[in-house]
Amino acid sequence: MRHERQVELLRRLQGVDAPRPGPLGAASMHNPARMYTAPEVFAAEERALFGRMPLLAGLSGELAAPGSFLTTLAGRVPVVVVRQPDGTVKAFVNACRHRGATLLTAAAGDGLGKITCPYHAWTYGLDGCLRAFPGAEAGFDDVDKATHGLHELPVAEGYGMIFVRADTGGGAFSADEALHGAHAELADFGLERYAHIESRSHEWAMNWKLVMDTFTEPYHIPWLHKDSIAPYYLFDRWIFDAYGPHARFIGTRKSVFDELAKPDTDDWDLLPHATIQYLLVPNAILVHQIDHVELWRLVPVSVDRTIAVTSVFAPEAPATEKAQRYFVKNLDVLLGVTNAEDFPAQERVQRNLASRALPEVVYGKMEPALSHYHTAIHKLLADAGELV
């Protein structure tokens, strides 16, 4: 993030006398509990959000070399993204054109020279073209290889991010379009240079949006995190900006006031004191955390089950084992807090909402990113003609 941008953002926090909590949103929002619990809402989200929107599949550093790949789900559509020999990426439906077997079952890998189906070994090039029916050419000599390549999906790579869309209608899209104006600031982070350290998955008994909600307000920190991170973080000051449906939400450490006390703004730095979160609708959160990047990708399983994939990236490949351990430790600490404190609480929220005892939840003026996120979800569903 450019220095002048950091100063501009810090100025918004300037002055401990500024009203706190703040800056407040325009109004509180009430959201029906069924947005988290109703199977028909979930089905509408699968169609309108996961089925139609560009989704952040991963960072470029996860596909560092030709033949590296990652797999994911775009709603119900199984997806594989593959780095090509020419350095571009392609995305395909991760299912064999013969009888539908999953082609690549690992979450990620590298060194692929071709894609071979584990069921009957139909073999595809990295470009998705069907190359051979090993041992059975005569048995399929009336099946045209040219029309039985993998189904290709629209994909866009830019600013170190890879977006995939399950919907093949509407043609190509760009990373700029997927980012709705957040690209200019994200470009400054140089994400294309970041190295993937590790990813971990965990399935939770809660609606996928509750994972997003976890990160959209610092209000809970003094209470839910009283035994862990509360001493270090502000809960009543934040920096929030919207980029179309997306948002950037910055939580700060209490140490930020030491920075603001420096008389010369040339000496001001936001990054050492900030958790800078890009909330990418529908299901990804990219976090710049002082000296590394964390990425959350959510895979909805059902209305009340979600796989959260958490990854950590370093600004460059660690040169030593000690440096590698440092970044892995950051992932340990992050998941130590979320998996012991945030998500168990959210699982209880899910059970309470599913009991139908509460008709709605409230997002206060001091939770502006939360209101923005859910307003965006409602608008996207309405724009897609989904009546929820």
Site of interaction with ligand FES (CB under 6 A): 96, 98-99, 101, 117, 119-122
Comparison of 46 and 217: residue with beta carbon closer to Fe ion: 217
What ranges make up the beta strands (E) of 105-237? 108-109, 115-116, 123-124, 130-132, 152-153, 155-158, 161-164, 195-204
Amino acid in position 192: E
Q: How far is the CB of 200 from ligand FES (least distance, A)?
A: 30
Angstrom distance (rounded) from CA 94 to CA 102: 6
Comparison of 122 and 296: residue with beta carbon closer to ligand FES: 122
Q: How far is the CB of 218 from Fe ion (least distance, A)?
A: 8
| Binder of residue 148, out of Fe ion, ligand FES, none (CB less than 5 to 8 A by kind) | none
Q: How far is the CB of 330 from ligand FES (least distance, A)?
A: 40
Is residue 122 within 8 Å of 115, Cβ to Cβ?
no
Region binding Fe ion by CB under 5 A among candidate stretches 35-43, 49-57, 183-191, 342-350: 342-350
CB atoms within 10 A of CB 300: 23
Comparison of 96 and 206: residue with beta carbon closer to ligand FES: 96
Comparison of 12 and 98: residue with beta carbon closer to ligand FES: 98
Q: How far is the CB of 137 from ligand FES (least distance, A)?
A: 13
185 sits near Fe ion (criterion: CB under 5 A): no
Comparison of 121 and 205: residue with beta carbon closer to ligand FES: 121
Comparison of 143 and 345: residue with beta carbon closer to ligand FES: 143
Using CB under 5 A, which of 157, 259, 304, 342 touches Fe ion?
342
Comparison of 15 and 231: residue with beta carbon closer to Fe ion: 231
Region binding Fe ion by CB under 5 A among candidate stretches 15-23, 244-252, 338-346, 353-361: 338-346
Angstrom distance (rounded) from CA 109 to CA 104: 9
Query: Which residue's entry shows tokens 């370093």?
Result: 314
* 3-state SS assignment for residue 3: helix
Angstrom distance (rounded) from CA 34 to CA 140: 50
| Binder of residue 96, out of Fe ion, ligand FES, none (CB less than 5 to 8 A by kind) | ligand FES
* 3-state SS assignment for residue 240: strand
Q: How far is the CB of 15 from Fe ion (least distance, A)?
A: 26
Q: Quick check: bond before 368 cis, omega within 30?
A: no
Is residue 380 within 8 Å of 44, Cβ to Cβ?
no
Query: Which residue's entry shows tokens 């955390």?
Result: 289
Q: How far is the CB of 215 from Fe ion (least distance, A)?
A: 7
Comparison of 119 and 232: residue with beta carbon closer to ligand FES: 119
| Binder of residue 122, out of ligand FES, Fe ion, none (CB less than 5 to 8 A by kind) | ligand FES
Region binding Fe ion by CB under 5 A among candidate stretches 1-9, 111-119, 337-345, 367-375: 337-345
**Which residues, in sequence order, are CB contacts of 184 under 8 Å at separation 6+?**
none
Q: How far is the CB of 204 from Fe ion (least distance, A)?
A: 14
Distance of CA 219 to the CA centre of its chain: 22
| Binder of residue 342, out of Fe ion, ligand FES, none (CB less than 5 to 8 A by kind) | Fe ion
Q: How far is the CB of 122 from ligand FES (least distance, A)?
A: 4
Phi-psi region at 385: left, alpha or beta (left = phi > 0; alpha = psi -120 to 50): left
Instruction: Locate 17 and state its tokens.
Output: 């006398």
Q: State the first-to-last Cα distance of the chain, in angstroms, to the nearest integer.
A: 39
* 3-state SS assignment for residue 310: strand
State which of positions 39-98 bind Fe ion (CB under 5 A).
Answer: none
Measure the CA angle with vertex 223, ends 220 and 227; round to 5°. 120
Chain residues in the site for Fe ion (CB under 5 A): 342
